[in-house]
């Protein structure tokens, strides 16, 4: 993962950034240190129509069906004194208690799209469990593809664009992991067959030696 402040690479389990000493304590001072109860779709800025909220909730539910260990959250807000969307997203994904997410899906497997409706900008934060599967290039590509919609204030279309691109990336990574898992199992099975064959040769060899000794 990368530090939300200096954007240098940091170990996912590090308590603070070794480069700039950033830690969650820094953003706790800005946003608070208590857990925040919210839903995966939180429109604090009130920019979505009812039909748009229903449609977007459906897309988020579909994401959870596609990826049983993950969840996707979207937060619409208007930020005036926020240090950065990257830092806000880091804080919210750590402090957020998502009411519509089952406890079997920890925040480490969460992806959060934070949208500043005033600045018409957005940022993506992901839990450290997604590190091997969701690269910075992938999230940048998802945001870049939706950038024109954010500028035009088309919040539903922008969110759906990001969701679609992230879903495609994770689906591809999932197929790759499954393929590599199958190859690994096949390798072990072949190795097991070789071991059995070698064991049989050795047993026959032992039997032959016993007969000759008799």
With cut-offs at 50, 70 and 90, classify the pLDDT of residue 18: confident
What's the mean pLDDT in 4-21? 81
CA 87/CA 45 separation, integer angstroms? 19
The mean per-residue pLDDT over the stretch 18-28 comes to 87
Q: Of all residues in the chain, what percent carry a pLDDT higher than 70?
A: 82
HEC string for 47-106: CCCHHHHHHHHHHHHHHHHHCCCCEEEEEEECCCCCCCHHHHHHHHHHHEEECCCCCCCC
Confidence class of residue 196 from pLDDT cuts 50, 70 and 90?
A: low
Between 165 and 16, residue with greater pLDDT = 165
Six token digits for residue 19: 């480069």
Backbone φ/ψ region at 99: left (φ over 0), alpha (ψ -120 to 50), beta? alpha
Q: Write down the domain spans for the chain.
A: 35-175
Query: Alpha-carbon torsion 136, 141, 146, 148, what sign?
Result: positive
Q: Which fold has domain 35-175?
A: Diaminopimelate Epimerase; Chain A, domain 1 (3.10.310)
User: Residues near 184 by Cβ (< 8 Å), separated by ≥ 6?
Assistant: none
Find the range with the poorest average confidence among 31-35, 102-106, 201-205.
201-205
Name the residue with higher pLDDT: 53 or 206: 53
Per-residue pLDDT reduced to its tens digit, 33-66: 999 999 999 999 999 999 999 999 999 999 999 9
Rounded-to-integer distance, Cα 130 and Cα 111, Å: 8
pLDDT tens for 70-86 read 999 999 999 876 668 88
Structure confidence at residue 182 (pLDDT): 66
Confirm if 188 and 150 have CB atoms less than 8 A apart. Answer: no
Averaged pLDDT score across all residues of the chain: 85
98-114: string of b/e by CB count within 10 Å (b at 16+)?
beebeeebebbbbbbbb
Given a cut of 70, is residue 181 above it in pLDDT?
A: no
Mean pLDDT of 146-163: 97
Encode 153-170 in three state secondary structure: CCHHHHHHHHHHHHHHHH
pLDDT score recorded for residue 201:
42
Which range, of 23-37, 163-177, 186-200, averages the lowest pLDDT?
A: 186-200
What SS3 state is found at 29? Answer: helix
pLDDT score of 1: 74
- Report d(CA 133, CA 202) in Å as an integer: 45
Structure token digits, residue 125: 């934060």
Residue 214 has pLDDT above 70, yes or no: no
Model confidence at 191: pLDDT above 80: no
Which tokens belong to 151? 């500028």
Q: Which pLDDT does position 186 carry in this prediction?
A: 67
How many of the other CB atoms lie within 10 Å of CB of 56?
20
Q: What share of the chain is helix, strand, coil (3-state, %, to 5)?
A: 55, 15, 30
Q: Which burial class, exposed, middle or buried, applies to 115 when counting CB atoms under 10 A from its CB (0-12, 13-18, 19+)?
A: buried
């Amino acid at each position: 993962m990368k530090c939300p402040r200096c954007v240098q690479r940091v170990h996912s389990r590090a308590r603070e950034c070794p480069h700039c000493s950033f830690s969650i304590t820094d953003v706790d001072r800005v946003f608070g240190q208590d857990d925040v109860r919210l839903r995966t779709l939180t429109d604090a800025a009130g920019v979505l129509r009812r039909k748009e909220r229903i449609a977007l909730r459906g897309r988020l539910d579909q994401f959870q069906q596609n990826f049983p260990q993950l969840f996707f959250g979207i937060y619409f807000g208007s930020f005036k004194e926020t240090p950065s969307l990257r830092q806000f997203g880091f804080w919210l994904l750590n402090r957020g208690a998502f009411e519509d997410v089952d406890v079997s899906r920890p925040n480490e497997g969460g992806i959060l799209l934070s949208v500043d409706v005033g600045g018409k900008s957005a940022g993506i934060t992901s839990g450290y469990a997604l590190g091997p599967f969701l690269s910075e290039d992938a999230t940048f590509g998802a945001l870049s593809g939706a950038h024109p919609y954010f500028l035009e204030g088309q919040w539903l279309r922008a969110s759906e664009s990001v969701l679609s691109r992230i879903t495609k990336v994770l689906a591809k990574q999932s197929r790759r992991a499954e393929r590599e898992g199958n190859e690994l199992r096949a390798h072990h099975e072949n190795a097991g067959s070789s071991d059995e064959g070698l064991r049989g040769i050795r047993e026959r060899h032992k039997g032959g030696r016993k007969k000759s000794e008799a």
